[in-house]
Amino acid sequence: MGTKKVLTGNYAAAEAAALCRPDLVAAYPITPQSSVVEHIAEMVNNGDLDAAMVQVESEHSAMSVVQGAAAGGGRVFTATSAQGLALMFEPYFRMSTLRLPMVMAIATREMTSPETVWSGQQDAISVRDAGWIQVFCESNQEIIDMVIQGYMIAEDQRVMIPVNVCYDGFYSSHLTEGIDLPTQEEVDQFLPPMAPDNHPVLDPNNPFALDPMTAGPLLMKYRKNHLEAMHRALDVIDEVDAKFAKAFGRSYGGAIEEYRCDDADIVLVTIGGMSGTGKDAVDIAREKGIKVGLIKLRFIRPFPAERIAKALSGKKAFCVIDRSVCFGWSQGPMYMETKAALADTDSKFCHFSAIGGLGGADISLQEMLDTIDYLEANKNEPGEKETRWFLKD
C-alpha cells in the first residue's frame, strides 16, 4: 500500500515522475506547470532524487536536452503548457519521429490570443498530430498512475512512442486532492529500469548515424511503422491498465472509461477534468429517470475509434464536450473525431458538439444538466444539431 497524501496535480506529476527514477529532467517554468519542475528541483537539491536536473532557457531547449539524453540511453521527463508547448513544437515532433520513449506532463492551458494564462485544452489538442501518445486525466490520482503507466507504454518494444500525460491547468494542476502515492518499492517492482538495448544509443562503441538524410520512399516506411505502432499501443494500453490494476488495485478502463452506459439512451462524451462534473450530472439526471451515460475519452492518441463506436452502439443521442476548438469547423475537435469513429456504423444518432471551458471558464453542473435535457428532448430526431457553446453572460 502506498502513502495517503494530499497533493496538487502538479506535485502529483512531479512525485510520480520521481518514482520512475528518471536519469535526467530538463524544464523551463511556465504557468500553470511551474510547480512540477520546482518540486522536482527541490527533490534533486535535497538529495531525494538521483537525477540530472538541467535548468534550460526555453521549452525548445527542454525538449532538446531530454532528446539528447534519451539518445544517450536515459529515461527522461519534462513538463510544459501552452506557449511553452508551441515553442517546443520543433523538437517535440522530432521526439516522436525519432521514436524515443519518454513521458511529458502537460498542464493544459488556453492558447494566446487574447492574452490568457488560464485553463483550456487547446495546447495539447493542437499538437495531437505530432506523433505522441496523449492521455487526458480527470483526477490527481490518475495523473500519478498515468505518469507511471506512461513509461511502461512508451518503452514497450511494440510501441516506442513518447507519452503526454495531460491534465487541466489550475483545475487539476493547482487544486489538491487526496491521493494514494505508491511507494518506491512498489513502483520499482512494476516498472523495471529501461533496458540498455531498449533503443539504439549514440555510442562510439557502436558508431552509426542517428537520423541521417533519408529519402522519401524510406521515410514513408518509417511513418507507416509509426502509425502501426500507434495502433498497437491500443492493446498495450489495455494490457498496462490490467497490469497496473493487479499491482495497485486501480483500473481506468483503458483508452476510454464508460460510466453508466450499459442501458443508456443518451451519452455525454467528455475529456479531462470536466468528466467529474459530467458524472455528477449523469447521477442527478438518472434520479429523474433519464437514461444517460458518459464516455470519458482518456487516450486520444491513439484514438480509440473502435471502442467508442462500440460504446455508442445502440444509443440514440450523444454530445461531445470539447474544451478546445477545431478551426475550420464550427465544432470541437473531439466531436469531429468521434464522428469519424462512427462513420462506418449504421446507427442514426441525434448528435452535436458542445464547446466550453475555454480560457479558464468553468464548465458548470447546470450546463451539463441542460445538455442532458436537450439530448433527452431530441433523442428521437436523428441528425446533427447546431454547436452548443457554454457561453457566460
Partner 1 sequence: MSYIDVLREAKDQVTPGMSACQGCGGELILRKALQIAGENTIIGIPPGCMAGAGVVGWNYANGLKIPVHIPLLDNSAAFFSGLSQMYQRKGRKDTNIVVLAGDGATADCGFQSLSAAAERGEKLLYICYDNEGYMNTGYQRSSTTTKGSRTSTTPIGSVVKGKTQQQKYVPLIIAMHNVEFCATASPSNMADFVAKVQKGLAASKNGFAYLHVFSPCPTGWGYAPDQGIEVARRAVKANMFPLWEMDRGEFKLNDENRKPITIAEFVKGIGKFKALSDEDIAAIQAMVDHRFEMLKRLAGK
Is residue 58 close enough to count as binding partner 1 by CB under 8 A? yes
By the 10 Å C-beta count (0-12 exposed, 13-18 middle, 19+ buried), 216 is classed as: exposed
- Select from 33, 61, 81, 353 the one that contacts partner 1 (CB under 8 A): 61
C-beta of residue 214 within 8 angstroms of C-beta of residue 45: no
30 touches partner 1 (CB under 8 A) = no
Kindly tell me which of 52 and 284 has the beta carbon lying closer to partner 1: 52
Sole binder of partner 1 in the list 211, 262, 344, 346 (CB under 8 A):
211
Among 1, 4, 47, 57, binds partner 1 (CB under 8 A): 57
Interacting positions 306-335 with partner 1 (CB under 8 A): none
Burial group, residue 328, by CB count within 10 angstroms (0-12, 13-18, 19+): exposed
What would the grid cell of residue 56 be?
Answer: 534550460
Asked whether position 210 contacts partner 1 by CB under 8 A, the answer is yes
Cβ at position 97, least distance to partner 1 in Å: 12
User: For partner 1, which stretch binds (CB under 8 A), given 153-161, 206-214, 253-261, 301-309?
Assistant: 206-214
Applying CB under 8 A, among 47, 114, 129, 213 the residue interacting with partner 1 is 213
- β partners of residue 25: 53, 77
In three-state secondary structure terms, 232 is helix
Of the candidates 260, 269, 321, the one whose C-alpha atom is nearest the C-alpha of residue 121 is 321
By CB under 8 A, the count of residues binding partner 1 is: 40
Question: Residue 366, class by beta-carbon neighbours within 10 Å (0-12 exposed, 13-18 middle, 19+ buried)?
Answer: exposed
CA-to-CA separations, 202 to 70, 95, 155, 160, in angstroms, rounded: 9, 15, 17, 17
In the complex, minimum distance from the CB of residue 166 to partner 1, in angstroms, rounded to a whole number: 23
- Take residue 316 and report the three cell numbers written for it: 440514440
Stretch that binds partner 1, among 41-49, 209-217, 230-238, 306-314 (CB under 8 A): 209-217
Give the three cell numbers for residue 307.
Answer: 471502442
- Residue from 15, 17, 20, 23 that binds partner 1 (CB under 8 A)? 23
In the chain, the amino acid numbered 126 is S
> Residue 114 or residue 217: which is nearer to partner 1 going by CB?
217
The C-alpha atoms of residue 166 and residue 272 are separated, in whole angstroms, by 8
Looking at the Cβ atoms of 120 and 131, the one nearer to partner 1 is 131
- Angle at the Cα of 242 (from 74 to 126), degrees rounded to 5? 60
Residue from 1, 114, 185, 218 touching partner 1 (CB under 8 A): that is: 218
Residue 199 binds partner 1 (CB under 8 A)? no
Q: Which is nearer to partner 1, 226 or 310 (CB)?
A: 226
CA distance 19 to 248: 14
Single residue of 52, 117, 309, 342 touching partner 1 by CB under 8 A: 52
Q: By C-alpha distance, which of 11, 9, 40 is closest to 169? A: 9
Distance CA 237, CA 271 (A): 17
Q: How far is the CB of 104 from partner 1 (least distance, A)?
A: 14
Exactly one of 7, 18, 24, 325 binds partner 1 (CB under 8 A); that residue is 24
Judged by the rule CB under 8 A, the positions of this chain that interact with partner 1 are 23-24, 26, 52, 54-58, 60-61, 64-74, 76, 90-91, 94, 202-204, 206-215, 218
